[in-house]
Amino acid sequence: MKNDTKTLINYSLPAVFENILQTTVGFVDSLLIAKISLAAVSAVSLVNGVMAVYQAVFIALSVAVATLLANAIGARKTDLTTEIVKTSILLSAVIGGVLSVLSIIFAKPILRGMGARGESLSQGILFFSVIAGTSILIILMTVLGQIIRTLGQTKTPLAINLGVNILNFILDLILIFGLFGLPRLGILGAAIGTALARLVGVVLLFGRLRQIDKSLTQHIMAVKKQLFRSEIIKRALPIMGERLGMRLGDLVIFVIIIAYGTDIFAGNAIGETITAYNYLPAFGFATGASILVARAYGAGEKQHIRSITRQSFLITAVISTILGGVLFALAPYLIHFFTANAQAISSARVVILVSFISEPVVAGVIIYTAALQAMGDVKTPFYATMAGMWLIRIGIAWVLGTLLGLEIWGVWLATFLDNIFRLFVLKLRYERRITNQNFN
């Protein structure tokens, strides 16, 4: 038990701190952009909504790679480990390259389809064209970091992300406000600074992977076609579908909220920016748990799987709830850093309150999703997410928020109900899988 806890913490804490770094930079970026205008805040929020869909694809691929890689490591299959690494790098470059080109071509219709108009649309196109147009950098950073972490170098991605995020902040500050005699680029400067920092991150991560083992990055174009077609793709597609279903649903929620007005939408964006910290422990421990559960699954260690999952859930539920409580208490002060608009402040407070109440439930959803996916059950999280998001969250949000006029309250009450439903389904499936010892 003690060894499980120590190993879990060793794998999870670097991921938690990495998430904190990334979220802090996003928080500071949002704060800087808020100094431009509320329209700029709305534009970035819309773009981030689309990028969340992209990230769903990127994270799904990284989860599939991590679980397969951990399974191979647990089963001591060295040749398969090498093939998985090379295949994942090539696949990442292909997916990222295609999305980058399509994003530049279709930036305007994508944002217009989300309801962006006027200044929010024009600002959003600038930001989206650079951020989404360099998607290849995002997916490579995501997958390379996950590969290095799964290979046991848990602190390396953290160290590299620390440097990247510091560089991101410095470049954003210089380019947004035109420091040191450079032109004031505003929201475009934030996008360029972020893209340049990510480029540095990709170079550093790839260099570190070569230092671990040069064979992992040699002859990438000569990967086995069978592995490319089946193993990674078969595992990644349902995970991708689960995350895409979630993120596309979020876009529908954005459309519902933006109909309530720019102030309410901006307030929702501010509230989500602040509460992003609440979920970081769960995502960090889910990263560690997925790697360790996948290894234990590959070795057929049932009790080890139970121990890791239980400890991950308890730790994240406690930490997330404490963080949520602190942010709820500080909400009146934090929100005023972003805006003095009364309606935006009121909306942000609703988001922060419901997020605080939901912490233990959300922690469970994240951890049990990771555990099931690590054991090869990628379909249950997909079905639970699709039903929860599209039937419960969106359906009830429209009824309560739009039809009954509760607006932001209705949307977030529906979100809470969706999370309760998904936790019930995931936990039930997890217990049945463990009890039946279905590890094939």
| Burial grade of 22 (CB within 10 A; 0-12, 13-18, 19 or more) | middle
pLDDT tens, residue order, the chain (440 aa) = 456 678 888 888 888 887 777 666 666 667 777 777 777 777 777 787 788 778 778 877 888 888 888 877 776 777 777 778 888 888 888 889 999 999 999 988 888 887 777 777 888 888 889 999 999 999 999 899 989 988 888 889 889 988 988 898 899 888 888 888 788 888 888 889 989 999 999 999 999 988 877 766 665 655 555 555 556 777 777 887 887 788 788 889 988 998 898 889 889 988 988 887 788 788 888 888 888 888 888 777 788 888 899 999 999 999 999 999 999 999 888 888 888 888 999 999 999 999 999 999 999 999 999 999 888 888 899 999 999 999 999 999 999 999 999 999 999 999 999 999 999 999 999 998 888 755 54
Which two tokens mark 255?
């459309």
Distance CA 8, CA 308 (A): 7
Which two tokens mark 208?
């570190």
Number of neighbouring beta carbons within 10 Å of residue 251: 18
Distance CA 77, CA 87 (A): 16
Which two tokens mark 402?
């739009």
Distance CA 64, CA 146 (A): 10
The residue behind tokens 């234990």 is: 296
SS3 content of the chain, % helix, strand, coil (to 5): 90, 0, 10
Which two tokens mark 108?
């305007």
User: What sign has the CA pseudo-torsion 140, 143, 148, 149?
Assistant: positive
Distance CA 135, CA 195 (A): 9
The residue behind tokens 């990263």 is: 287
For every residue of 161-218, DSSP letters joined together read HHHHHHHHHHHHHHHHHTGGG----THHHHHHHHHHHHHHHHHHHHHHHHHH-GGGTS
Distance CA 52, CA 49 (A): 5
Helix, strand counts (H, E) of the chain: 17, 0
Distance CA 333, CA 270 (A): 13
Angle at alpha carbon of residue 19, lines to 14 and 22, rounded to 5°: 125
The residue behind tokens 């922690």 is: 363
Distance CA 281, CA 165 (A): 19
Which two tokens mark 112?
């217009």
pLDDT on residue 231: 67
Q: Which residues contact 118 (CB under 8 A, 6 or more apart)?
A: 39
Distance CA 439, CA 296 (A): 10
User: What sign has the CA pseudo-torsion 335, 116, 171, 174?
Assistant: negative
Distance CA 52, CA 247 (A): 6
pTM of the model: 0.75
pLDDT on residue 26: 65
pLDDT on residue 421: 97
**325 SS3 class:** helix
pLDDT on residue 222: 56
